Structure 1
Amino acid sequence: MLAAGALLGGALAVPAVTASAGTSGPCSDADTAIYRPPASASAAPGDVIACRTVDSLPLLGGGTAVNAWKVQYGSTDGHGRRDTVAGTVIVPKEAWQGPGERPLVAFVPGTLGIGPQCAFSKQLAGQYQDAYEGPNLSALLKAGFAVAATDGAGYLDGQVHPYVSGADAGHAVLDVVRAASRLPGSGVSPDAQVGIWGYSEGGSGSLWAAQLAKSYAPEVNVVGVASGGVPGDLRQVAKALNGGGFAGFLVDAVIGLSVTHPDMPFDGLLNDKGRTAVKDAESLCAVGTVARFTGAHIEDYTKDRLTLDQLYALHGPDGTTWGQVADTNRLGVGVGPSGSGARYEIGFPVLQYRGLLDEVIPAETGQGTRRAYCDAGVATQWTSYAGDHLLGDPQAIGDSVDWLTDRFAGRPMHGNC
């Protein structure tokens, strides 16, 4: 789901970061190597497959000097199979002034589009489409933190991003943390304290990383996760999006889940309009997707004008229904604190936030995810802002960076469940 800033341009007053990056380390692979899928995905999760020093980060503006690298790294998809993902690691040149190792923030971008041309690492390095979260990264770097920003799965050449697939997203986030410490010349310690931050699609990805951290990456020292505008219940969000101004996100979500579940009924359901919609969605990025599909109804894209409820009832060869696929990606199910025996044990504080006027993520969805975490006993802080979905992201930048700073400093968090 689209986060903020795409419509705000340079109006945000945020710390500036120098676009010029250093040339530390032996990372000299061609840019094409970062986005070329390997013949077989065999690298271990977090292992660096290819890397390239980045000489310019225009999306960040000017100010703090940094070293930066694009990196292709091993990961795991939502079905437990080896996968390959790209991302960006950025480290301030100035020595860390705090105690211990320099902290690392794994940043999860909001909706950018589902085609490889929309990859966050490409946009950060100047292949501008409509990325909007440079101010978020600038604020983190100004605070002295290293940043590891995953593109997410499905952004290599010829791929399609598995939009809203929780396990794919969570694994990609945790593995970019591993890759950052294995990247030659980064100076990121494998023992560094790690914060995770994301809004909208990034809010979902960051919470999935929180839920999967203990089982998937127990060695990663996560101390806090900040997640805003979270689409925690896909069914509720789909109902709100269908026929509305942000229906393009629903189109992306349906395509994304068809990528992760290729045996489920999809292509055979589409009419000519639906096949055109798929091609258009894969060729556009965030703003183009919103414009192209404003007011679209999912029923118009199938031969039998299937409603969402009718689509949920369809099943694949093993009996799994589309409704079950959607519900598998629901956040807050099976969570609990450390030692609880829950499926997803979360042993660190969580910040959740949303705009009070959010027109993309229904209030019941945001509040439902919050209640699920609170009821399960996970240490949770909740914050709301006066803006809508587009404004909720920039309004939270200062508070989110301060909240992560407090976690790195070991200060107690006073939850407000």
Structure 2
Amino acid sequence: MQETSRNGRRGWVLVAAVALLATLIPAGQTAQAAPVADRVVAAAAATPDPFYTYTGTKRLADFAPGSVLKTRTVSYSIAGIPLPLKVVQIVFRTTNQRGQAVAGVTSVFKPLAGVTSKVMSYQSFYDSLNPEDGPSRSVAGGTNPGGMAAHFETAMMVPFLLQGYAIVMSDTQGPTADFAAGPEYGMVTLDSLRATLKVPATGVVALTAKIGLIGYSGGAIATNWASVLAPSYAPDINKRLVGAAEGGVLVRPATNLTYVDGSLVWAGIVPMAVVGVARSFNVDLRPYLSAYGVTVYNKMQKASILQVLGAYPGLTWKKLVKPAYTDPSTIPIFVKLVNQLNLGARPNPTIPMLIGQGTGGELEGTIGNKAPGRGDGVMVAGDVRTLAKKYCSGGVKVTHREYPLSHFLSVPFWLAEAVPWLMARFAGTPAGNNCATIPAGNPLGPLKAR
């Protein structure tokens, strides 16, 4: 009976994930989608909800990370249509990429009955340069197309809600949507959990609660960085963590830059990341860009991933920059910044990890015959292998999986294993590992300036 129930859950999750993928990949989105690149990418203007802005008289820096600034309870809404699911939203003090105190926001989905000691921290892949695309805005009734992924991700987490877990879903990119700024993602995630555990902020989470981390793609950035930073930045949260499940992992951004160069679907992620990195570190990279690069840079200031995928088929770094900078390593400030975002240079986590990665990137228009090797279209399999082996050598229990599919198509296979794997960690079942069978990967050393 138990095995039948587990198979049923897996089947349900697969259906939900396939529905998600169908939504994320618009019909007919192929290399012919180039005209999208000529549109203004900002979503329709929405009036910002003042709830998400801290207006108190006390300096944010005077609050401890994770301090609750304000809360409210709302009905979960899809484009303004309320559903019978209550969500507690919390504005809290956190830290941005530059080490500054800022106000973050998270949404806590109440379990169906009573106080719970099980918290699932779900990191969204909303990937956007527009703060109004954050999942907390969407579940409160926001209508920005770039934030709609949150609704399908909520469906993916239904198995946990049905099992009595509280779900915590944060706007991991911070108040200014600092896309690709991994450390900020991690600190926001950890501080959101600190805030969630402060009673009576939610009234549904026990003080003794255990926590699991889960996320795919952009959500994997937050999941991995939270796992890595927790022992030093939030040891109070680290001691509660039972494990982390992630898929489609960004490890060494400098490698990804080479991998997606010229991709039919994923090439537009490069200028999107340039905007996010420049914003998060408060630097100006426009002096290095070509006239075309500046045009794209300006258009992308509020772009979401849905507006970028397939919109710049075949775009190369060479076209984005001036002739003197066709080698990214000739831009010293860029080298400095991307090296700070390299997970391979950071300490190991202390919790079990499930790490999944696709290798069929050709299905999404990215050829894997260049130096980085194969990937899923945007993330590089060799980098993920080396990161997993690094964790293994540090004593971390790692389950590493590869799927011969692309980034989107790998989701249901990863999710079908991630859900029961995390549930087993909450149940106290010791994590296994397959460290001995992980293939050799790519070097994860720093990008060297020329």
Q: Which residue of 1 aligns with 2:445?
A: none
**Identity of paired residues, percent?**
25
Deviations 1:144-167 (A, max 9, x none): 21111111234x3xx3x2222221
C-alpha distance in 2 between matches for 1:347 and 1:329: 20
C-alpha distance in 2 between matches for 1:232 and 1:296: 22
Under a length normalisation based on structure 2, what TM-score does the superposition of the two structures give? 0.75
8 A contact 2:119–2:165 mirrored in 1: yes
CA drift at 1:231: 0.9
- Structure 1 segment 108-257 matched on structure 2, within 5 A: 108-128=123-143, 129=145, 130-131=148-149, 132-154=152-174, 156=175, 159=176, 161-182=177-198, 184-220=201-237, 221-244=240-263, 245-257=265-277
More helix by share: 2
Deviations 1:30-86 (A, max 9, x none): 982233254853332112223222212439x999x6431222211112333212212
C-alpha distance in 1 between matches for 2:114 and 2:415: 23
Q: Which residue of 1 aligns with 2:356?
A: 353
Deviations 1:209-262 (A, max 9, x none): 111111111111111111111011111111111221212222221111111222
C-alpha distance in 2 between matches for 1:379 and 1:366: 15
CA drift at 1:396: 2.2
CA drift at 1:143: 2.5
Provide the aligned length of Structure 1 versus Structure 2: 370
Amino acid at match of 1:115: N
Change (3 A) 1:115 1:68: same
Structure 2: give runs of 5+ residues left out of the alignment: 1-16, 26-46, 361-375, 436-450
C-alpha distance in 2 between matches for 1:291 and 1:35: 32
- Structure 1 segment 7-406 matched on structure 2, within 5 A: 7-9=21-23, 32-36=49-53, 38=55, 41-42=60-61, 43-58=63-78, 66-95=85-114, 101-128=116-143, 129=145, 130-131=148-149, 132-154=152-174, 156=175, 159=176, 161-182=177-198, 184-220=201-237, 221-244=240-263, 245-263=265-283, 265-304=284-323, 306-307=325-326, 309=327, 311-315=328-332, 321-336=333-348, 346-357=349-360, 358-406=376-424
C-alpha distance in 1 between matches for 2:98 and 2:165: 32
Amino acid at match of 2:433: G
C-alpha distance in 1 between matches for 2:95 and 2:18: 29
C-alpha distance in 1 between matches for 2:394 and 2:202: 41
8 A contact 1:56–1:126 mirrored in 2: yes
Deviates more, 1:228-237 or 1:249-258: 249-258
Please provide the CA RMSD for this pair: 2.8
C-alpha distance in 1 between matches for 2:18 and 2:338: 25
- Secondary structure in 1 matching 2:294: helix
Structure 1: give runs of 5+ residues left out of the alignment: 12-29, 316-320, 337-345
Amino acid at match of 2:168: A
Q: Which residue of 2 aligns with 1:24?
A: none
8 A contact 2:221–2:249 mirrored in 1: yes
Under a length normalisation based on structure 1, what TM-score does the superposition of the two structures give? 0.81
